Amino acid sequence: MFGTNTGNVYLKLEGEDEALTGVLRLNEPGIVAVYAVEGSFDPPTLSITGQPQTEIEGVEFGTFIAKGALDARGQIRGDWETSIGTGGTFHLFPHEHDDVAQEVGDANQHHSARHNFGAIQIDRDGILKIARSLRSEFPSVIVSVNTGTEQARYLEDFEQFEFGSDTASLVRIFAQKQDAAVGSQAVTIEFGPQVNWAMTQGENEAWVLGKLEALKRTIRHSSVHT
């Protein structure tokens, strides 16, 4: 997404075209936000509205609306705006579910690679091991945990924070950086009751594929497959 806010988004929708529901995840530098969305698809137009589910102290999230058009390549481009006055444009494109790079863009190609794991059992130490493995490469690593409400914290804060619950319904690790030499690079890892996955994104295809393979090894060594 682009405009007053810029970042990576991941949108999953289910249901009939006239009654879609789903989740939108927005990754901006320093913030990971989750929205519950609903909408409709009247070819070629997708229209959605979203209500924020994330609570971060000192950060305001507004209700948003977005509308875009589906093209022949399966991509959607359009405009978005929120109740707090922010707005801009967006570009959605499909992701493969395995280690297949996607090339999208005009002047700069954007590559994404994603891997879905099976059932995973992972504890706090495992989460810390994975997040710390990213710290040497990225200026900031954000860990989000949902134990009733979702809280996003920088790794340094997460290492010291004591949660009121021993279990979480969702854990997300996110890291992103901009580099003049190699362009943008981002890593997103999510553990949940239904799906456990890791995704790498960047303008350098070799880095995207190589980083995903490294993440797969780190996650396997940090967790117990069930």
Q: One digit per residue, pLDDT tens: the chain, 226 residues?
A: 888 887 888 999 999 999 999 999 988 767 888 999 999 999 889 999 999 998 888 788 899 999 999 876 678 889 999 999 988 888 888 765 444 444 444 445 678 888 998 888 888 899 999 999 999 889 889 988 887 777 788 898 888 887 666 778 888 899 888 766 667 788 999 898 877 899 998 888 888 999 999 999 999 888 764 4
In the prediction, which pLDDT does 226 show? 44
In the prediction, which pLDDT does 164 show? 65
In the prediction, which pLDDT does 149 show? 73
> For the chain, how big is the Rg over CA atoms in Å?
17
In the prediction, which pLDDT does 99 show? 46
Cα separation of 141 and 94, whole Å?
A: 25
